[in-house]
Amino acid sequence: MSAAIEEIIGEARRRSVTLPFARIWRSGLLAAGTWLLAAALTYGLPDVISWGATELFAAVMLAGAGIFLALSVTVHRLGSVGRTLVHYGPWFVVLGLWLAAWEVLTAKLGWLPKPFFSPPQGLLHVYVTDWERLLVCIAYTGRLWGLGFFSGILVGFAGGVALGWSKRFAYWGMPLLKLIGPVPASAWIPCTFFIFPTTFHASIFLVALASGIPVAILTAAGVSQVNRSFYDVARTLGADQRFLVLKVAVPAALPNVFVGLFMGLYYSFAVLVVAEMLGAKFGLGWYLQFNTAYSAYANVYAALIIMALICAGLVRLLFIVHDRLLGWQKGIL
The reply to whether 201 and 105 lie within a common domain is no
The reply to whether 207 and 71 lie within a common domain is no
Measured torsion, CA atoms of residues 235, 240, 241, 243, in degrees rounded to the nearest 10: -90
The reply to whether 159 and 237 lie within a common domain is yes
116 within some domain:
no
Q: Are 202 and 193 in contact (CB under 8 A)?
A: yes
Residue 65 pLDDT greater than 90, yes or no: yes
The reply to whether 151 and 51 lie within a common domain is no
For the segment 162-183, the average pLDDT, to the nearest whole number, is: 85
> 231 versus 321: which is more confidently predicted?
321
The reply to whether 75 and 170 lie within a common domain is no
The top-scoring range by mean pLDDT among 10-24, 62-76, 214-228, 273-287 is 62-76
Domain around 255: 131-328
Model confidence over 102-119: pLDDT tens digits?
999 999 998 988 878 889
140 within some domain:
yes
The reply to whether 158 and 271 lie within a common domain is yes
- Looking at the 3D structure of the chain, how many domains does it have? 2
Model pTM score: 0.80
